[in-house]
Amino acid sequence: MKNSQTQTATQEKQQPPQIKVSPQNHHTKTKPLDEITQNYEAVIGIETHVQLSTLTKAFCGCPYNYASQPNTCICPICMGLPGTLPVLNSKVIEFAVKLGLALNCKLSLNSKFDRKQYFYPDLPKGYQISQFDIPIATGGHLDLDLPVEFGGGHRRFGITRVHMEEDAGKLLHSGDGAQVDLNRAGVPLLEIVSEPDMRNGIEAAEYAAEVQRVVRYLGVSNGNMQEGSLRCDVNVSIRPIGQSEFGTKVEIKNLNSFSSVSRAIDFEIERQALLHSQGQGDQIFQETRLWEEGSQKTVTMRKKEGLSDYRYFPEPDLPEVILTEEYVDSIRGSLPELPEVKRRRFEKMGLSMQDVLFLANDINVAQFFDATIELGADVKLAANWIMSDIAAYMKNEKLSIDEVKLTPKELAELIASIKSGTISGKIGKEILFELLAKGGTVKGIIKEKDLVQIVDPSEIEKMVDKVLSENPKQLEQYRGGKTKLQGFFAGQVMKISKGKANPGLLNKILLEKLNAKS
């Protein structure tokens, strides 16, 4: 009955749910490869770009909407026209501080912007406004619980830094060559750089999923990977187990789902391990590789020719970013309960890790759950209702929990009504779907449809007598030893009670009557 599809890294909302990771990935290759990879340890770090859901861009007043026509969300400033200047949207700082605090980072009370300089047609100023040597947040960590189906376990991954920067535009390639769409140019980003703490694709994908959860909890981004609101570039190297220095690092781009993060990393680990095992470790180059979803492979995008020199220097058009302790405190005070804290709390309520992960995955679901149990509903029952029928309904109707008509109050009422015996579980389910689709109250629906359970033994007895007297043949057969017919009689009684007879009482009375000496 329980829907066990805990939403994890491997099952994003928009993804078909059954994308499996790692183990199935190399079914064509056989044992030897597994044995080879066992001799190596992978070292994985992730750079995540989070596009902030501010109303306007980072340095101008343009709104940004993902699906807009090319070059309709632009102005002289984000086009980089001569004479224009950037002015910082203060929401960017607020969001950066929120995320920095949520990632347990130390905040720089005095940071600044720098220019990162390179030429590319989607970069209208010839430089990106970013933060170089003094990022707004440094030295944090992110806690997460691996999904049960991947062995579970708690992990803590280090966060090196979080910094603010602006997005570039996009190149649109067509038959006549490339065109530039600057809608995205100047949209604020937070870049999160992790420590190289992850060891396999699952860990990396779960790290990314937790980042998504955190930014959604904070409301700083929609975290949508398909739209590019959350972008992960991963760095993968391997080294023989026991070796302390790192191997040559390869960067992988074009990862637009958590499962591609996981699969690309596992592919890359195998590729590198194979090269090592064949004595071709020197054929692993420091390069950027692209994940190809079609062929499920990484391919060379560009080799790095030494370190790029971005000639960073402090952005002279923007004043320093100065945060006061009061400001930071006020933001700290406004943070919601974060996923990790929520999970620990749910765990203490006695819920299984699978339930915990499901309920804490979406802040709105978690809030719905919390509100339901605050009204006195049984924890386990509330969790089960939410994870099974409510989740299934939301999925089928493509609705979020905020969009269904059911309220926590009515769910609590429903659970209480079943527990008290006012209605049966079966009737409860019917009422639930009514509430989800149309709203209303449990009491109202019970009254309107006359659904109160029949718990009066004499009333049930009357119905049993009626059924027995109308089916003498079956009664005879039963008494002749065909006791399986009990189910038939129970069904008949339930039918004339319109499903309202209390099943326990019904069976008790029925058995007494059936077995009574005639």
Contact footprint for other proteins (CB under 8 A): 76-77, 79-88, 115, 117, 119, 121, 124-127, 180, 307, 309, 311-313, 316-319
CB of 67 or CB of 85, closer to other proteins: 85
Count the helices and strands in the chain (H runs, E runs). 17, 16
CB closer to other proteins out of 86 and 247: 86
Residues whose CB falls within 8 Å of the CB of residue 461, separated by 6 or more in sequence, listed in order: 509, 513
Q: How far is the CB of 314 from other proteins (least distance, A)?
A: 9
Tell me whether residue 117 or residue 222 sits nearer to other proteins (CB atom).
117
Strands 287-292 and 170-174: unpaired
Looking at the Cβ atoms of 54 and 229, the one nearer to other proteins is 54
Q: How far is CA 385 from the centre of its chain?
A: 20
Please report, for residues 303, 414, 435, the alpha-carbon distance to residue 407 in angstroms, rounded to integers and kept in the order given: 55, 11, 8
Q: Which amino acid is at 492?
A: Q
Closest to other proteins by CB, 85 vs 241, is: 85
Q: Rounded to the nearest whole angstrom, what is the least distance from the CB of residue 187 to other proteins in the complex?
A: 18
Q: How far is the CB of 311 from other proteins (least distance, A)?
A: 4
For residue 391, the one-letter residue type is: A
**Closest separation between CB of residue 167 and other proteins, Å?**
17
3-state secondary structure of 171: strand
Give the amino acid at 103: L
Nearer to other proteins (CB atom), residue 33 or residue 87: 87
Nearer to other proteins, 71 or 471 (CB): 71
* Radius of gyration, alpha carbons of the chain: 30
Q: Which is nearer to other proteins, 87 or 301 (CB)?
A: 87
CA pair distance 501, 507, nearest whole angstrom: 10
> How far apart are CB 74 and other proteins at their closest, in Å?
10
The distance of closest approach from Cβ of residue 80 to other proteins in the complex, given in angstroms and rounded to an integer, is: 5
3 state DSSP class of 58:
coil
Minimum distance between the CB of residue 125 and other proteins, rounded to whole angstroms?
A: 5
Q: Which residues pair with 115 in a beta bridge?
A: 129, 313
Question: Which tokens hold the place of 296?
Answer: 């499920």
Dig out the tokens for 283 from the structure.
Answer: 């054929």
Which residue's CB is nearer to other proteins, number 317 or number 476?
317
Minimal distance, residue 331 CB to other proteins, in Å? 22
Task: State in angstroms the smallest separation of the CB of 177 from other proteins.
Answer: 10
d(CA 77, CA 166) in angstroms, rounded, equals: 13
In degrees, to the nearest 5, what angle opens at C-alpha 157 toward C-alphas 154 and 158? 150
- Picking from 173, 144, 178, the residue whose alpha carbon sits closest to that of residue 158 is 144
Distance CA 200, CA 42 (A): 7
Which residue, 233, 184, 194, 187, is CA-closest to 214?
194
Q: Which of 299, 105, 262 is nearest to 191 (CA)?
A: 105
Taking the C-alpha atoms of residue 116 and residue 315, their distance in angstroms, rounded to an integer, is 9
Min CB(118)–other proteins separation in Å:
9
Closest to other proteins by CB, 120 vs 246, is: 120
Extract the tokens encoding 120: 């590319």
Q: Report how far residue 183's alpha carbon sits from residue 468's, in angstroms, rounded to the nearest whole number.
A: 76
